[in-house]
Amino acid sequence: MSEAIIRLENVNKWFGQFHVLRNLNLDVERGERIVICGPSGSGKSTMIRCLNRLEEHQQGRIVIDGTELTNDLRDIETIRRDVGMVFQHFNLFPHLTVIENLTLGPIWVLKKSRSEAEAAAMKYLERVRIPEQAHKYPGQLSGGQQQRVAIARSLCMSPKIMLFDEPTSALDPEMVKEVLDVMVNLAEESGMTMLCVTHEMGFARKVADRVIFMDQGEIIEQNTPDVFFDHPQHERTQLFLQQILH
Amino acid sequence: MSANSAMASRGPAYSHSRIGWIKDNLFSSPLNMLLTVLVGWLLVMAVPAMSDWLFFDADFTSDTAQECRQAQGACWAFIAEKHRLILFGVYPYDEQWRPLLATLVLVATLVCSAIRFFWKPWLGLLWAAALAAVAILMWGGVFGLSHVENDRWGGLPLTLILSTFGIAFAFPFGVLLALGRRSHLPAVKSLCIVYIELIRGVPLISLLFMSSVMLPLFLPEGFTIDKLLRAQIAIILFAAAYIAETVRGGLQAIPKGQYEGADALGLSYWQQTRLIILPQALKVVIPPLVGIFISLFKDTSLVVIIGIFDLTQAAKAAIADAAWRGFSVEAYVFIAVIYFIFCFAISRYSQRLERHLDKGYQR
């Protein structure tokens, strides 16, 4: 039996007195696509940020591809090389051009040569359908284009796992589709493990292998999209779905 | 042409004319009219008198002080007589081409460093060569040049050397202090805080005084550190504390998302700091940093307290000459112009640098 690529065991986290993650248990298989939804404050972003140590969990174990996440800097760096993240507010580097943003990681972390990194970067820019923007600065691009650059930037590191923290929440409605199209394409063609926190239920239906509903730091329900949306079992899930599907 | 379009075409043309501009900007309201009249009156009072004193009634060519004192205006002949003392201090008269050449080499290298074309790895070599040239020219002792001890150095080359090395060493030191103050390691953080607060709590003059008078008391018998070096180190230590706080302000201005984006890529602390954080932080604090550099350039005049002959002290020495008494205004105007030229150049360069770095942020 293949071991899960992500395993959370009894993970607990507090922000001061506030118990944000309560006894989380989750196994993610290699190549699985997971969508995490839930009301704000439910801990969904915190949970995925724990996966690449942007947040620290206080109790429990997190194991990513066989390496446990601890305070050991080397383990953290190993894990971050294999886990890519796309943020709600893009977090592109404004003082570098698009191509420089993309090649920064490969050159300095993966120690690739500049020409190799640039060739790969152009390939990923074409994959997200904006190769002509390579020499522009992020400030000169629209929100949807910036988010696609952010996706390409993570892809350039050839990660095994991609985390998406509400990637379309900060975009104008017209641009949401272009980013979702890229993510659907990525899900269908690459076979990469993807964890996506989002409110885009259409995307979840199309792409997810599993939809997870979180509330107040706990996983309330998880199921395949069909069962999740058509036959939610818990009352809180039903309430949530009523509120967002209108 | 119909009447309407004739009027329309006259409207914009009118407000762009000179009369239109004057009417719109200088006389548009009662307050503005009053201010315009006031400023006009001040100009009428000041400008003719100043230009008379500076140029029209000034004496450029007298040989003696008595002749020069007859003139109504400034006595620039005094500067013609004393300019070598003011510019080069008490450096041996015949060898003054050496500090002149050293000054030119230093200024040329500074100008080159400012031009983007020269921002290549060999700029370091260029600086090493320039510094070697300056050292050889000023000290001598090789290549048939007579040896000149550095307590005879003075004037403009000395001010330039103190400022250039002061800024060059204080800047990286200040950046490290700023990073250290934001560190999570308690020892590093406390050390940096203590250093910054101690140094900021004392005036530069007392640091110079301490370096000159107190330090020799702590050193072992017979072991002396060169006075100029002591002054240089005091200036570097002083400026570093202020640069540290300014850079820290810039570091605080970087949004947390930048650190997270860099972390998510797997960049180490030093890679992040060098590639992502510092470039953005330093760009944001160029205005106050340049202010510190300009202040530092002028603060070098304080080395007079420990008997080093900088540009200001040289001007005072020129005034002290019994044969040419009473021309202190001319001397101070002369060095003020020199200080202004350098400070203004730094300021203009920083504006150019900011405009250049802004290119990525304009749509």
Contacts of B359 in chain A (CB under 8 A): 137
Q: What is the pLDDT of residue B4?
A: 56
List phi, psi (to 5°) of B58: -80, 155
Cα separation of B105 and B100, whole Å?
Answer: 9
Instruction: Please compute the mean of the pLDDT values over residues B186-198 and round it to a whole number.
Output: 96
Work out the pLDDT band at A1, boundaries 50, 70, 90.
very low
Cβ atoms A177, A203 nearer than 8 A: no
- Look at residue A96 and tell me whether its pLDDT is greater than 70: yes
Contacts of B262 in chain A (CB under 8 A): 93
Q: What are B4-27's pLDDT values in tens digits?
A: 555 555 555 555 677 777 777 777
Q: What is the pLDDT of residue B155?
A: 85
Q: What percent of chain A has pLDDT above 70?
A: 99
- Compute the nearest-CA separation of A57 from chain B (Å): 17
Cα separation of A22 and A41, whole Å?
Answer: 13
Q: Find all residues with CB under 8 Å of B153, minimum gap 6, and list them.
A: B89, B91, B99, B138, B161, B228, B309
Q: Which residue of A has its CA nearest to B259?
A: A91
pTM of the model: 0.84
Interface of A with B in 56-85 (CB under 8 A): 77, 80-81, 83-85
Q: What are A119-170's pLDDT values in tens digits?
A: 999 999 999 999 999 999 999 999 999 999 999 999 999 999 999 999 999 9
Contacts of B260 in chain A (CB under 8 A): 54, 85, 87, 91
Asked if A87 lies within 8 A of B267 by C-beta distance, the reply is: no
Q: Which residue in A81, A93, A97 is closest to B266 by CB distance?
A: A81
Segment among A164-168, A207-211, B149-153 with least mean pLDDT: B149-153
User: Which letter does DSSP use for residue A119 in this model?
Assistant: H
- Quote the tokens at residue A51: 């996966």
Q: Tell me if residue A208 falls in helix, strand or coil.
A: coil
Q: Which residue in B263, B275, B360 is closest to A104 by CB distance?
A: B275
Q: Which of A104, A156, A160, A164 to mutate to test the interface with B (most CBs of B within 10 A)?
A: A104
Q: Look at B59 and B194; give whichever has higher pLDDT.
A: B194
Asked if A89 lies within 8 A of B257 by C-beta distance, the reply is: yes
Q: What are B277-288's pLDDT values in tens digits?
A: 999 999 999 999
Cα separation of A226 and B290, whole Å?
Answer: 62
